Amino acid sequence: MLQTNLKHVESDEEFEKLIAENENVMICCGRMGPMCLPVYDIMESLQAKFPHVQFRDMDFDGPASHNIKRLPEVRGFMGLPFTIYYKNGQVVQATTSIQTEEQVLGILNRYFARAA
């Protein structure tokens, strides 16, 4: 289990329920490694600003991670973490390796922005 303050996705059932029941979901699939930790921190810091988005992490070596690894969007990814953004159950964006807050915010604002 990842030692973060985010909610974790630890099983197929949790993953399927999360995707099925929420419009906006961001999952960061990684380890407790140097390229992953900053992304978890960014997600934690943005939770209050995006209450309509479900922020989760997932252990790259855990039982639910095949749901991410099998995605066509991550084909060719060779840098942790794999971060996936779901809108109504569909993948709208996927990134590989460390991301800055600006990069994450750019994707959140693009796909998960609330209508003014």
Site residues, another protein (CB under 8 A): 31-38, 41-42, 45, 75-80, 95-97, 100-101
In the complex, minimum distance from the CB of residue 33 to another protein, in angstroms, rounded to a whole number: 4
Q: How far is CA 5 from CA 8, 15, 47, in A?
A: 9, 18, 11
Residue placing its CB nearer to another protein in the complex, 16 or 101 = 101
Residue placing its CB nearer to another protein in the complex, 22 or 103 = 103
Instruction: Report d(CA 55, CA 87) in Å as an integer.
Output: 13
Whether 79 and 35 have beta carbons less than 8 Å apart is answered as yes
In the complex, minimum distance from the CB of residue 116 to another protein, in angstroms, rounded to a whole number: 19
* DSSP assigned state of 102: H
Residue placing its CB nearer to another protein in the complex, 51 or 76 = 76
In the complex, minimum distance from the CB of residue 3 to another protein, in angstroms, rounded to a whole number: 9
Q: How many CB atoms lie within 10 A of CB 59?
A: 17
Residue placing its CB nearer to another protein in the complex, 5 or 11 = 5
Task: Indicate the helix (H) or strand (E) that contains 42.
Answer: helix 37-46
In the complex, minimum distance from the CB of residue 108 to another protein, in angstroms, rounded to a whole number: 14
